[in-house]
Amino acid sequence: MAEPVEAIKEKSMNLQKEMLSKQFKELSMAKELGKKVVYTFVPGNLTELILSFDMLPVYPEINALQSGMRKKSGEYIKEAEKIGFSEDVCTYVKCDIGMMLKGNIGPTGEQLPPPDLLLLSYTGCFTFLKWFENLERLYPGVPVAMLHTPYQEDGVITQDQITYMVKQLQEDVIPKMEQVSGKKFDMKRLSNMMVDSAKAEDLLVKILESAKTVPTPIDAYFAGVYYIGPIFTAFRGTKEAVVYYQELWNEVQERMRLGLGPVTPEGELKEERFRLVIEGPPNWTNFREFWKIFYDMGAIIVASTYTKVGGCYDLGFRHDPSEPLESLAKYCMSVYTNMNLPQRVDLIEKYVREYKADGFLINSIKSCNSFSAGQLMIMREIEQRTGVPVGFIESDLVDPRYFSYANIKNRLESYFQMLEQRKTILAQEEAVK
């Protein structure tokens, strides 16, 4: 394969890079700054609550995916397997454990601090429970706060469920945060932060929904994973997040005005041939190669489920400053990983129709049961409901042993040929009318 060209960077990308660099610098100096550190997860995260206590969040799955993009994950996974972790265990877990065993060096090359609090906000992924059991063993004596999120079994969030979660926040999570941070909980401060949360969420929805435009100015999967970075991690509820998303929205509006396609690492996409909706996380170890297969075929992802793991804001949820704790509860229950399978099918069908997609594709992750369970059923349902061609490829999150470039490329080329044939048939039928 040819040497990759240097990736194009817009102002918003540089702004995000500065934000992340500052975040990891603070983490590396947490002890000197007198900051306490909370290890937690992205789906159903309590970022505003953590920040309201002036504590710093660390997200183990973000560490893992960044290790994958930096070609470090294979080494870390082997370290975890040496101490007994099975090949079938989630590779995020093994990468994170291996990274800790190798010194816990973050993406900026600086050491990440150990946790002062382990905050398990459980939202639909059983692996999170076992992951934290291992973290508890690795960091003996560190307190654990558990926020159990009821599963949306019937597809609705009830008042009883909200009350149950608020009680956990009041009686377990917040007291432990007060104990660890040495600060009293400030409801007004949390409420004020949610004003900025809602502003950033409004902007993110506008950005992602710009993909309804033909041609779309963004790729909602490969570029989308960068767009969701600040709001799904350490910056929701901050002024910095609002500034970032306003800048990004300005750039997207300009691309829409000029009728331009998405910016990719290979340059601006000139021709939009196929519009796809995709289910499942991307592969991180070969992220740029993976994206290039789509770029070379003129295929753009106009909507994805992965960009909803930290919140389905396009379905209407916003953090509400008038009821901060209830808002946190509703947020945790409404993320994509906490939805039942009928809800997921309905959401994907909505995306296929509203974003004028030519096809639906699943990237099934070998070690991620949370996403992979039910995917074949989802694929059949979407095909029956919408009539669009469906495709299925397999890779892994951060284990380079399970990414076969040739196999995925061959499958996608066959799939794109099927899409091309369907478009030709539809055009002929339209011409006859």
Partnered with residue 118 across adjacent β-strands are 39, 144
Q: How far is CA 186 from CA 169, 192, 344, in A?
A: 13, 10, 36
Q: What is the pLDDT at residue 45?
A: 94
Q: What is the pLDDT at residue 1?
A: 44
Cα(230)–Cα(226) distance, integer angstroms: 8
Across the range 366-392, mean pLDDT stands at 91
Percent of the chain with pLDDT strictly greater than 90 = 80
Per-residue pLDDT tens digits for 347-356: 999 999 999 9
Nearest to 381 by CA among 344, 356, 355: 344
Q: Which residue has the higher pLDDT, 390 or 367?
A: 390
DSSP string, 244-297: HHHHHHHHHHHHHHHT---EETTEE-----EEEEEESPPPSTTHHHHHHHHHHT
Per the prediction, the chain carries an average pLDDT of: 93
What letter represents residue 360's amino acid?
F
**Tokens representing residue 116 in the block:** 């002062």
Cα(397)–Cα(351) distance, integer angstroms: 24
Partnered with residue 390 across adjacent β-strands are 360
Nearest to 162 by CA among 385, 303, 316, 333: 333
Most confident of 18-27, 63-72, 318-327: 318-327
Residue 172 has what DSSP assignment? Answer: I
Per-residue pLDDT tens digits for 199-232: 999 999 999 999 999 999 999 999 999 999 999 9
Q: How far is CA 246 from CA 15, 191, 204, in A?
A: 11, 21, 9
Among 3.40.309.10, 3.40.50.11890, 3.40.50.720, 3.30.572.10, name the CATH number for the domain at 27-183.
3.40.50.11890
Across the range 154-168, mean pLDDT stands at 95
Torsion angle (degrees, nearest 10) of CA 178, 145, 83, 67: -70
Cα(298)–Cα(423) distance, integer angstroms: 14
Strand locations in 97-217 (E): 117-122, 144-148
Helix (H) or strand (E) run with residue 132 in it: helix 127-138
SS3 400: helix
pLDDT band at 6 (very low <50, low <70, confident <90, very high): low
Across the range 260-266, mean pLDDT stands at 91
Q: What is the pLDDT at residue 126?
A: 76
Per-residue pLDDT at 162 exceeds 70: yes
What letter represents residue 211's amino acid?
A
In this prediction the pTM is: 0.94
* Angle ∠(231,234,237) on CA atoms, nearest 5: 60
Per-residue pLDDT at 155 exceeds 70: yes
Cα(45)–Cα(401) distance, integer angstroms: 30
Task: Specify the length of the chain in residues.
Answer: 433
Q: What is the pLDDT at residue 9?
A: 63
pLDDT band at 2 (very low <50, low <70, confident <90, very high): very low
Per-residue pLDDT tens digits for 380-424: 999 999 999 999 999 999 999 999 999 999 999 999 999 999 888
Q: Which residue has the higher pLDDT, 154 or 242?
A: 242
Q: What is the pLDDT at residue 88?
A: 84
Q: What is the pLDDT at residue 182?
A: 97
**Tokens representing residue 405 in the block:** 């470039």
Cα(185)–Cα(34) distance, integer angstroms: 18
